[in-house]
Chains A and B, each alone.
Chain A
Amino acid sequence: MAEEYEEYKILITGTMGAGKTTAICAVSQMKVVSTDVHNMDRAESAKATTTVGLDYGEVTIGDGAVLRLYGTPGQARFRFMWEILAKGALGLIVLVDNSRKSPLEDLTIYLDNFRPLVDKGAVVVGVGRTETHPAPGVDDYYEYLSDRGLMLPVLSVDVRQREDVLMLFDVLFSVLELADG
């Protein structure tokens, strides 16, 4: 009989261009299911394509558990997909693009819209493009979150790097264990 391992649904969200698809592609051990289409809204982002449905990939971690990774569309008009994809999710990674105009305000959008996971403390924030856009710094994020009564881990990451993405999952599982007591 085939050995059975735990499976966990992990959601990855953030603004358009924050690196959700890239993060999943960086770690997935299966061919990533992608729903990228031609991006016609160049005012929002210069990216050639954008995710409008979901991204899906899988990665097996150290103890044999399988993480089922779901990437959401970034734009608020796809909020209905956020609600659908959040069902049954164990935890959430919010990716923030520090090169955008108001990254802290961007973060707020996702924290507000994934409130049940935020309230459970099942969220990790990954800040990207800090090497070219160092401000706001990680401390600014902590202060911003603290002002809102939130204690969430914030990491500076390059989601093109597999190790960085795996680190986000490691931290997520650590906070989940702490939350479980």
Chain B
Amino acid sequence: MESLDARQLRERYGPGMLARLKQLTSNNPGVLAAQVCTVDGFEVVAVHRNEESRRRLAAMASSIHALGSALVQEVDLGSYENLVLEGSRGKVLMMSVPGCDGTLLLTAIASQDALFGHFHYVCKTCCEALGQQFSSAQVA
């Protein structure tokens, strides 16, 4: 993928990515919020009410993703794919978006009622759709 910063990504792909995130949250009632950020911690697009929290979430997702990757590498488990955090009131799932050289991450937040398997499936589907957007743009 061409090297773009968060602002350029937002300008070029923002509407399409936001539509995917809205689809993820509106079609799946248990999914409360979702965000795409760069691997170095800048928000690109989000469906999340609190702007300050969104910025912090992007930086935290970037750090946790990097730590997860380092751990997976340390124990020789191949390439990092996703990370799940479970709190007493919900779950957070972080995934690398395919097709963009590992530069983008999807973070989704679900309520405690969301079934993990379903949550994982819809996030993965969303991630693939986000990745497809880049592949299509490059072909075009």
Verify A37–B6 contact, CB threshold 8 A: no
Give B contacts to A, CB under 8 Å: 3-6, 38-42, 55-56, 58-60, 62-67, 69-70, 74, 101-103
Q: Mark A70-93, 1 if CB is under 8 A from B, else 0.
A: 000101011011000000000000
**How many Å lie between the Cα of A54 and that of B64 in the bound state?**
10
Verify B64–A38 contact, CB threshold 8 A: no
Cβ of A43 under 8 Å from chain B: yes
Verify B59–A53 contact, CB threshold 8 A: no
Q: Closest CB of chain B to A120's CB: distance in Å? A: 26
Verify B62–A40 contact, CB threshold 8 A: no
Q: Mark A93-107, 1 if CB is under 8 A from B, else 0.
A: 000000000000000
Which residues A27-60 have CB closer than 8 A to chain B?
A: 33-43, 50, 52-54
Count of residues in A whose CB is under 8 Å from the partner chain: 21
Verify A43–B5 contact, CB threshold 8 A: yes
| Candidates A34, A41, A42, A78; contact of B63 at CB < 8 Å | A78
Q: Is the interface of A mostly helix, strand, loop or mixed?
A: loop
Verify B55–A40 contact, CB threshold 8 A: no
Verify A40–B4 contact, CB threshold 8 A: yes
Question: With contacts A77-B55, A78-B59 known, is A40 near B38, CB below 8 A?
Answer: yes
The 3 closest A-B pairs by CB, nearest first: A35-B66, A53-B66, A77-B59
Q: Closest CB of chain B to A180's CB: distance in Å? A: 33
Verify A37–B70 contact, CB threshold 8 A: no
